[in-house]
Structure 1
Amino acid sequence: MDAIKKHRDFLMYCIFGFLASLLNIAIFNIGHNNLHMQLWVANTLAWFISNTFSFFVTKVYVFRTDMKDYSKLLHEGTYFLVSRILSLIIDDLFMIVAVLILPWNNLIIKAIDQVIVGLFNYFSSKWIFDYNNRHLLQKLKEIREKRKEIEKL
């Protein structure tokens, strides 16, 4: 039981990350295989929709942070989006290389891709939503401000 409590965030992230990955794969499949969108367009659309879903479930159910403070929501949303744009680049490059250059099955590659991107996303989300990391960022800002004040003297 202690192991479950200790790794609760990761286990919850895995559950909701799995759901976001299924959503991503389904949207990619519909866009690329059924609607015949270009690979990167279908992949980017799937990324956008699944990451919008992921932001809210990660915030509320995984890291249990408050939704009432709109300034904080915007701040976290910005960091979330920036970190996820990095994962989109990894995602698109992996898909392009594996599917277009090495002609492998796009749905199998998409599933493998979601595991790799999911791990990257977990650690970046943990950084963004973790209460202790927010204090660290605040302390770094305070140190920077004190240095500027000292330099003015």
Structure 2
Amino acid sequence: MELIKKHRDFLVYCLFGFMASLINIIVFTIAHNNLKIPLWLANTIAWLISNVFSFFVTKFYVFKTKMGNYKMMFKEGSYFLASRLFSLLFDDLFMIVAVLVLPLNNIIIKVIDQLVVGLFNYFSSKWIFNYNNRNLLEKIKHLRSK
């Protein structure tokens, strides 16, 4: 029981990360395989939709941070999406190389891609929503202004 409490954030993130990955895979599959949207665009659309979902569930259910004011929410959202842009670049490059160059099955590759991206996203989200880090950043900014 103590082990579960100790790793609660990671376990809950895995649950919601799995849900975000499912959203990503489903949207990608519909957009690319059914609607014939080009691979990189279908992947980017899937990324955007799954990350909007992920922002809110990560904020409220994984790291249990408060709503705060709109300025704070915008700031967190900006950091969140900025960190996720790195994962989008990896995501798009991985998908293009694996599907178009190697030609491997796009759904299998998308699942592998989501596992790798999910780990990166967990650690970047933990940093963004962790109040200890936020307080540290505020202290650094305060020291710089002196």
| Range of TM-score over shorter length | over 0.9
Q: Distance in 2 between matches of 1:79 and 1:93?
A: 22
Q: What letter matches 2:70 in structure 1?
A: Y
The 5 Å alignment of 1:65-104 reads: 65-104=65-104
Q: Distance in 2 between matches of 1:60 and 1:134?
A: 16
Provide the residue aligned with 2:41 in structure 1.
41
* 1:130 and 2:130 aligned: yes
**TM-score, normalised to structure 2's length?**
0.98
- Deviation digits for residues 52-73 of structure 1 (CA, Å, limit 9, x no counterpart): 0000000000000111421110
CA RMSD, 1 decimal: 0.6
SS of the equivalent of 1:67 reads coil
How many corresponding residue pairs? 146
* 1:52 and 2:43 aligned: no
Q: Distance in 1 between matches of 2:2 and 2:132?
A: 21
Provide the residue aligned with 2:141 in structure 1.
141
* 1:2 and 2:2 aligned: yes
Larger Rg: 1
**Structure 1 gaps, min length 5:** 147-153
Q: What letter matches 1:79 in structure 2?
A: Y
Using the aligned pairs only, state the percent identity: 68
How far is the alpha carbon of 1:107 from its aligned partner? Answer: 0.2
Provide the residue aligned with 1:112 in structure 2.
112
Moved over 3 A (4+): none
